[in-house]
Amino acid sequence: MKKGRGFDPTTLEIYRALYTSVAEEMGLTLRRTAHSPNIKERRDYSCAVFDAAGSVIAQGDHMPVHLGSMPMAVEAALGETNIGPGDVVVLNDPFAGGTHLPDVTLVSGVFLGKSDRKAGFYVANRAHHADIGGATPGSMGMASDVYGEGLRIPPVKLVVGGRVSGDVMRLLMANVRVERERRADFEAQVGSLKTGAARLLEIVARAGAREAAEYARHLIDYSARMMRATVRAIPDGVYEAVDALDSDGVTAGEVTLRVRVEVRGARARVDFEGSAPQVAGPVNAVEAITVSAVAYVFRCLVGAEEVPASAGLMEPIEVNAPSGTVVNAAHPAPVAGGNVETSQRIVDVLFKALSKALPARVPAASQGSMNNLTIGGTDPRTGREFAYYETVAGGMGARPSADGVSGVHTHMTNSLNTPAEALEYAYPLRVRAYSLRRGSGGRGLRRGGDGVVREIETLVPARMSLLADRRARAPYGLAGGADGAPGRDRVVRGGRASKLDAKGSRDLEPGDRVRIETPGGGGHGKE
């Protein structure tokens, strides 16, 4: 018998499900009440529950890219503000707890006693807002530093003692497009925090604060045990791989990512030494993103079991991302794409390294991009500005035992599409095609999934930006399987197609169609 832990497996299971359901319920409230299609239709958000020390206990299964990065937001909020009853802290600063600017995080405390000054729990949610200011609608354009990308919000109180801070709100609203939508989304985020707090208070009322806190701690240990068992199952050794982004969008040339994974018993060290220095274009990832991507890969190796994404998950894993590189960028690097593109490449390079350790488990490369498309302008029906943002699915890499899935979001994102019929009600845009890109999946014993063809026409003058990758270097095949087809992008004007840069912005005339063909997944095994 192992010593010293002393917990009841039944109670542990009940708290596991309970804390997870709190996070899920927060997500449900947010999704159902938000106004950005990005949050409500595409579900680009995450909600999490933290203990009194700010360690994450549970997180909803929402966006993997938020997996390891939410704790840093709470840490920053606790470090820079003093969260009292009824306070809500807002932040998006990539260099202080955030990831990229459109992802705005709200944090509040849950105070168990009427006169408590110290919170017993914290709850937080992060939602991708359709616009947060900056040079291009949607705040995902090509900027040369973070100042050009939009409004940077350090941890500040948006709500003080239950009352929205008018000054802070006015300052925020003066710097973003589509003010009404932003305001409603903030309200929805605050509502979601209230839901979480109410549920936690119920749990405490029923079981007592001591047991609730004790089992929060046990849950963190639980995740750590699950991860240790997973790492132990990987053969000891050193596994290395190199992959790259096509470009940073500003300067020519690939951006190299290098990883060295060292597995010893139940512990792993993931070292990104040798990756490219931070770049001029917006594909820099802050450290939170890199940790998230590593957490995602190892979480996948745990398997289908429902393990809470608690602080314990990363306990057996050490990450070294050297400062000043593309995987741990320093202020004031532009970071819009670190979240959405570089995170995918970090997953690719890490899986590539681990495929040498676990050849029967690890899939070939998936599309490796989120194909971020933003179109903005003025809607003549309302006279108001609009900013529409979406990501487009692609091919999943083939698995050692199965073909890859076609037309699906993979790895660091799982956001839904906006239905054409919803999109056209809301924006002066028309979807012209949404179909599978046949033959784009890599051949092999197991075939890679096919990418997608998405064609959107604008009905008004508009400005678009695209942030995508895997347009030159293809998603890799494994074990003799062929690579997937790289993506390609066009603007069709009057029947003539012209090439569109995978990272860049362009003005559109009414009738122009943006045609995105997303990458296919790599194949697995010789045919």
Partner 1 sequence: MGDERMKVRVGVDTGGTFTDFVYVAGGRARVFKVASTPDDPSRAIAGGLRRVAREAGVAPRDLEVVHGTTVGTNALLERKGARAALVTTRGFEDVLVIGRQARGSLYDLDWTRPAPLVADGLRFGVRERVAADGSVVEELEDEEVAALVRKLKRAGVESVAVCLLFSFAAPRHERKIERALKAGLGGVPLSVSHRILPEYREFERTSTVAINAYLQPLMGAYLGRLGAHVPARALRVMQSSGGSISARAAASEPVRTILSGPAGGVVGATRAAGEAGFADVITFDMGGTSTDVALCPAGRLRLTNEASVAGLPVAVPVLDIHTVGAGGGSIARVDAGGSLRVGPRSAGAVPGPACYGRSRLPTVTDANLVLGRFGGADLLGGDFKLDEGRAEEALASLARGMSEAGGREVSAVEAALGVVRVVNAGMERALRAVSVERGFDPRACTLVTFGGAGGLHAVELARALRVPRVVVPRQPGALSALGCLRADVVKSLSRTLMLEVGGGSEGRGDARAAASVGRAFREMEREARAALRREGFADARQRHTHTVAARYRGQSFELEVAWDGGRRIVERFHREHEARYGYAQTAGSVEVVSARLLSAGLVEELKEKRPRRTAAAVALAEPHRTAHVYFNEGAREAAVYRREDLRAGSRLRVPCVVTEYSSTTLVPAGARCATDAGGNLVIEL
- Interacting positions 286-305 with partner 1 (CB under 8 A): 296, 299-300, 302-305
- CB of 282 vs partner 1, minimal distance in Å: 24
Q: How far, in Å, are 6, 15, 352 from residue 219 at the CA level?
A: 13, 8, 31
Q: Is residue 164 part of the contact set for partner 1 (CB under 8 A)?
A: no
Q: Is 141 or 428 the residue whose CB approaches partner 1 more closely?
A: 428
Pairing of strands 488-493, 496-499: antiparallel
In the complex, what is the shortest distance from the CB of residue 503 to partner 1, in angstroms, rounded to a whole number?
Answer: 22
Q: Work out how close the CB of 399 gets to partner 1 at its nearest, in angstroms, rounded to a whole number.
A: 6
Choose among 196, 168, 206: nearest CA to 92. 168
Pair type for strands 267-271 and 317-320: parallel
Interface pick for partner 1 out of 18, 107, 508, 514 (rule CB under 8 A): 18
Nearest to 59 by CA among 93, 24, 25: 24
Residue of 52, 160, 164, 184 that binds partner 1 (CB under 8 A): 184
Residue in 74, 91, 69, 95 with CA at minimum distance from that of residue 329: 95
Decide: is 346 part of the binding site for partner 1 (CB under 8 A).
no
Q: Is the separation of the CB atoms in 254 and 246 below 8 Å?
A: yes
Judged by CB under 8 A, the chain residues 92 through 121 that form the site for partner 1 are none
Of 33, 144, 175, 378, the one binding partner 1 (CB under 8 A) is 33
**Using the 8-state DSSP alphabet, how is residue 231 labeled?**
H
Helix (H, G, I), strand (E, B) or coil at 363: coil
Which range of residues in 4-12, 258-266, 316-324, 467-475 is near partner 1 by CB under 8 A?
A: 4-12
Residues 194-253 binding partner 1 (CB under 8 A) are 194-195, 198, 222-223, 225-226, 229
Q: Strand 237-245 relative to strand 163-164: parallel, antiparallel, unpaired?
A: unpaired
Strands 237-245 and 496-499: unpaired
187 makes contact with partner 1 (CB under 8 A): yes
- Residue 322's nearest CA partner among 290, 282, 281 is 290
Does 29 contact partner 1 by CB under 8 A? yes
The nearest distance, CB 419 to partner 1, in angstroms, is 5
Residues 149 and 338 sit within 8 Å (Cβ to Cβ): no
Query: For residue 188, what are its two tokens?
Result: 């929805």
Q: Cβ 498 to partner 1, closest distance in Å?
A: 20
C-beta closer to partner 1: residue 2 or 114: 2
CA distance 403 to 398: 5
Q: For residue 304, give the 3-state DSSP assignment.
A: coil
Rg value, the chain, Cα: 22
Per-residue binding string, partner 1, 36-75, x by CB under 8 A, is: -x--xx-x-----------------x--x-----------
Q: Considering the rule CB under 8 A, would residue 447 count as an interface residue with partner 1?
A: no
Contacts of 208 (CB under 8 A, 6+ apart): none
Closer residue to partner 1, CB minimum distance, 411 or 503: 411
In the complex, the smallest distance separating the C-beta of residue 327 from partner 1, rounded to whole angstroms, is: 22
Quick one: which of 31, 126, 345, 447 contacts partner 1 (CB under 8 A)?
A: 31
Give the footprint of partner 1 on residues 384-443 (CB under 8 A).
Answer: 392-393, 396, 399, 401-402, 405-410, 414-417, 419-422, 424-425, 430, 432-436
Tokens of 162: 């239950």
Rounded Cα distance, 432 and 426, in Å: 16
Stretch that binds partner 1, among 5-13, 49-57, 81-89, 273-281 (CB under 8 A): 5-13
Q: Looking at beta carbons only, is 135 or 201 nearer to partner 1?
A: 201
